[in-house]
């Protein structure tokens, strides 16, 4: 009986450290799984934020396109109004051709109207030209912003679990520095496309 108790104690002494080691390994694996899950959630949140940012950029582009269309419509209305004013002027000139005094009076009035309309037309043409140039610049910058956003999304989609774990590696931090450099490059690309008033 004494021998049996000694054998049981020896077996327990051998088995307890192995059970404790297995429990420690299990805890370590659980912690690693929790960390990977948290990192995955963080990346999903970042992806959602980038998609939201892209939606905002697309809305802004659509808004600018609508404004551009409205300005074009205003320009067309102004040209029609200008043409109507010229037609009205020609009609008045024909009606007042009866006498020389009436003709001189109409001529002075027509000259003033023509100068005003020409100045307005020149101003409208100048504004339209400036707006077109500004619009082209904005469209080009918008295309570059969209391209940078797309590249950034592609980069993050290409990251796998090992990349995500390597970013959190605390000893050397090489992957984290690489990720920070990539993010800085994308930030620079985005800031280069900022429209300056």
Tens-binned pLDDT, residue by residue, of the chain (197 aa): 656 665 665 665 555 555 556 678 888 888 888 888 888 888 888 989 989 999 998 999 999 899 888 988 988 888 888 888 888 878 877 777 777 787 777 778 888 888 888 888 888 888 888 778 777 877 777 777 777 777 777 776 777 776 666 666 766 667 767 777 887 887 888 777 776 66
CA-to-CA separations, 3 to 14, 79, 84, in angstroms, rounded: 17, 114, 121
Residue reference for tokens 């090489």: 174
Coil, helix or strand for 96? coil
Nearest to 195 by CA among 141, 116, 135: 141
Residue reference for tokens 């001529």: 107
Question: Is 11 inside any structural domain?
Answer: yes
Question: Is 105 inside any structural domain?
Answer: yes
In this prediction, residue 35 carries a pLDDT of: 86
Nearest to 186 by CA among 131, 147, 137, 130: 147
In this prediction, residue 59 carries a pLDDT of: 92
In this prediction, residue 55 carries a pLDDT of: 92
Coil, helix or strand for 135? helix
Domain count across the chain: 1
Question: Is 141 inside any structural domain?
Answer: yes
CA-to-CA separations, 9 to 5, 14, 16, 23, 60, in angstroms, rounded: 6, 9, 10, 21, 76
Q: Report the sign of the C-alpha dihedral through residues 91, 96, 97, 100, in that order.
A: negative
Separation CA 179–CA 163 (nearest Å):
10
Domain around 57: 2-192
Question: Is 116 inside any structural domain?
Answer: yes
In this prediction, residue 164 carries a pLDDT of: 65
Residue reference for tokens 């100048």: 126
Q: Which two tokens stand for residue 54?
A: 């892209």
- Numbers of helices and strands, H then E, in the chain: 4, 0
Question: Is 197 inside any structural domain?
Answer: no
Q: Which two tokens stand for residue 78?
A: 């102004």
Residue reference for tokens 């610049």: 137
Question: Is 110 inside any structural domain?
Answer: yes
Question: Is 151 inside any structural domain?
Answer: yes
Question: Is 123 inside any structural domain?
Answer: yes
């Amino acid at each position: 009986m004494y021998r049996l108790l000694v054998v049981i104690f020896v077996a327990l002494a051998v088995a307890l450290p192995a059970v404790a080691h297995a429990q420690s390994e299990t805890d370590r694996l659980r912690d690693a799984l929790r960390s990977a899950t948290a990192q995955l959630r963080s990346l999903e949140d970042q992806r959602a934020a980038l998609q939201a940012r892209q939606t905002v950029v697309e809305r802004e582009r659509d808004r600018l396109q609508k404004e551009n269309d409205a300005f074009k419509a205003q320009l067309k209305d102004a040209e029609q109004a200008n043409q109507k004013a010229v037609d009205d002027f020609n009609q008045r000139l024909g009606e007042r051709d009866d006498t020389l005094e009436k003709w001189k009076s109409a001529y002075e009035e027509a000259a003033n109207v023509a100068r005003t309309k020409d100045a307005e037309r020149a101003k409208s043409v100048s504004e339209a030209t400036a707006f077109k140039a500004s619009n082209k610049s904005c469209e080009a910058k918008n295309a570059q912003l969209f391209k940078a956003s797309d590249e950034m999304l592609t980069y993050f989609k290409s990251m796998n679990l090992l990349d995500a774990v390597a970013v959190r590696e605390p000893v050397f931090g090489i992957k984290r520095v690489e990720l920070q450099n990539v993010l800085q490059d994308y930030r620079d690309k985005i800031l280069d496309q900022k429209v300056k008033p």
